[in-house]
């Protein structure tokens, strides 16, 4: 695809990733999609948001990729599952966008976070965009489920300052039931990051009746503590902000009746992480 066709994607910037977006890249020929995945010169983005205070240290610019092979029952952005729901954007264009925010991000001790969807589904694009961000002097982070971590070489991991790793639950069967996939690749990536001395934040979504079992929280806590490079654990309370997306996309949402955890339940989970020697909030 020529560069000009991708430099002005339709309304890339969004107020938040909770905007439902579908088919933005539908017209991109299959050969260009395959080419983009193979080279990483072009990627598919759901949206860009600026001024985030919750996706890594400081104030962040966040790019949300499309494409995810997991099917977490509580996913609040199921429109990001399909790659071509995103807008095609070249690395050159995305880096130019980032460059506009460089000074401000440095002043606010923030940086760039590539989230999703699952950014490592587009691992070539992720590697190139993170390297470009680092070359601009911008702090870099990815938020990932870690499943495709092995696709990044050690050299590609080097410019990553931080990994926000989602650990969804604990135990092989529970994990399969919640996400549809095996937990082991995620744990293997976590161990590899730890061996490389890479800082991590663990993100864990607390869903009453689904992930709030003490055995689950303790299992994740012990594992995270064993890694040695986990700087903090974020206990994220389940919410229903993505419910309308499941309904609008005609997907079977099994958590329609689930509630947000009480502040006491969140604090209890944080307490288990803290007891394992971790910083949790």
Least distance in angstroms from the C-beta of 73 to ligand SF4: 9
Range in contact with ligand SF4 (rule: CB under 6 A) among 8-16, 54-62, 72-80, 269-277:
72-80
Question: Which are the contacts of 67, defined by CB distance < 8 A and separation ≥ 6?
Answer: 44, 80, 81, 82, 83, 86, 116, 117, 118, 121, 122
Please return the burial class of 260, using the count of CB atoms within 10 Å of its CB with bins 0-12, 13-18 and 19+. Answer: middle
Least distance in angstroms from the C-beta of 117 to ligand SF4: 5
Residue 55 lies near ligand SF4 (rule: CB under 6 A) = no
CA distance 121 to 114: 12
Q: To which H or E segment does residue 156 belong?
A: helix 154-157
Residue 75 lies near ligand SF4 (rule: CB under 6 A) = yes
Q: To which H or E segment does residue 235 belong?
A: strand 230-237
Residue 118 lies near ligand SF4 (rule: CB under 6 A) = yes
Range in contact with ligand SF4 (rule: CB under 6 A) among 44-52, 63-71, 100-108, 245-253:
63-71
Least distance in angstroms from the C-beta of 205 to ligand SF4: 8
| Number of chain positions touching ligand SF4 (CB under 6 A) | 11
User: From residue 178 to residue 217, what is the string marking binding to ligand SF4 with x (rule CB under 6 A)?
Assistant: ----------------------------------------
Smallest CA-to-CA distance from 189 within 222, 140, 159, 145 is with 145
Residue 71 lies near ligand SF4 (rule: CB under 6 A) = yes
Residue 68 lies near ligand SF4 (rule: CB under 6 A) = yes
Least distance in angstroms from the C-beta of 99 to ligand SF4: 27
Least distance in angstroms from the C-beta of 238 to ligand SF4: 11
Least distance in angstroms from the C-beta of 33 to ligand SF4: 19
Q: Which two tokens stand for residue 12?
A: 């890339």
**Cα–Cα distances in Å, from 78 out to 65, 202, 244?**
12, 21, 10
CA distance 279 to 222: 13
Q: To which H or E segment does residue 135 belong?
A: helix 123-135
Q: Is residue 68 helix, strand or coil? A: coil
Interface residue list for ligand SF4 (CB under 6 A): 68, 70-72, 75, 77, 80, 116-118, 145
């Amino acid at each position: 695809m020529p560069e000009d066709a991708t430099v002005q994607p339709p309304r890339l910037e969004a107020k938040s990733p909770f905007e439902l977006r579908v088919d933005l890249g539908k017209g991109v020929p299959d050969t260009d999609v395959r080419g983009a995945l193979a080279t990483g010169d072009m990627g598919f983005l759901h949206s860009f948001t600026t001024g985030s205070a919750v996706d890594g240290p400081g104030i962040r610019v966040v790019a949300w990729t499309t494409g995810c092979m997991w099917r977490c029952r509580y996913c609040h952005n199921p429109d990001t599952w399909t790659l071509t729901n995103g807008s095609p954007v070249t690395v050159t264009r995305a880096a130019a966008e980032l460059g506009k925010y460089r000074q401000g991000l440095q002043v606010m001790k923030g940086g760039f976070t590539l989230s999703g969807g699952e950014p490592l589904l587009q691992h070539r694009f992720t590697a190139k965009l993170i390297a470009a961000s680092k070359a601009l002097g911008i702090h870099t982070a990815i938020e990932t489920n870690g499943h495709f971590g092995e696709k990044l070489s050690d050299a590609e991991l080097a410019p990553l300052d931080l990994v926000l790793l989602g650990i969804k639950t604990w135990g092989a069967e529970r994990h399969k039931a919640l996400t549809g996939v095996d937990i082991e690749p995620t744990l293997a990536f976590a161990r590899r990051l730890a061996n490389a001395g890479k800082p991590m934040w663990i993100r864990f979504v607390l869903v009453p009746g689904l992930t709030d079992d003490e055995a689950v929280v303790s299992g994740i806590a012990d594992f995270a503590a064993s890694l040695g490079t986990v700087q903090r654990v974020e206990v994220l309370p389940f919410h229903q902000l993505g419910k309308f997306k499941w309904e609008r996309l005609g997907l079977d949402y099994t958590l329609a009746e689930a509630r947000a955890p009480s502040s006491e339940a969140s604090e209890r989970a944080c307490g288990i992480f803290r007891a394992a020697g971790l910083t949790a909030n």
